[in-house]
Amino acid sequence: MNSIHAAQRRGITFQRYDMSQARQLKPTIEMVYRASYTEAIARGRSCETVESFMGRFERHSAIADLDLVIAYHVDEPIGQIWGWPLHEGTREWDGLIPEPDEQFTREDGTRTFAIAEIMVIDQWKRKGVAHALHDFLLSARREERGTLFVEPDNIPAHRAYERWGWFTIGQLQPTWEDAPLFDVMLIYLNPRECD
């Protein structure tokens, strides 16, 4: 993918980690969050505190098929992204407006990959790192589609995701404390063959 090659030409490398490895990277995950979300942390919303974020990471890193990618420049972490496939019984779609039909929300562990977080430290923003992280993570995924949440007023993120092939399918407010209302976006990755 062009975004990955462009990043590599700038000396950026990517490393993929699984659940057990991710748990060993907590200091790195926290450092990248602090350096990526400086404005959000300063706003003081309870869902954006470092403690709240790290609590979510603790839950995410307990997911057996977590897929985490960290971008490095000269061995320094500059961005990260992670997600996991949705399994039968997932609550990922609970509260989606408009309410989708039952077929849309049917999950089996191979249908939908959910991106939970993507972030790049402030000094590396707007340099193609987020796009390269996105493409690197999804390049190894075999699910039919991907999903992610983005705040409706985050226009730069919306525009970037749309350029990368995502489209909005509705809105949802997660159940974690002080969670904002999100736009839910979808992308088709590996459409299944018709039977």
Q: Where along the chain do its domains lie?
A: 2-188
pLDDT band at 190 (very low <50, low <70, confident <90, very high): confident
Q: What are 50's two structure tokens?
A: 């470092």
Query: Residue 76 and residue 63: Cα distance in Å, rounded?
Result: 26
Alpha-carbon span 94 to 41, nearest angstrom: 27
User: Per residue in 23-81, pLDDT tens?
Assistant: 999 999 999 999 999 988 888 888 889 999 999 999 999 999 999 999 999 999 999 99
pLDDT in tens, 84-93: 999 999 989 9
Architecture of domain 2-188: 3-Layer(aba) Sandwich (3.40)
pTM of the model: 0.92
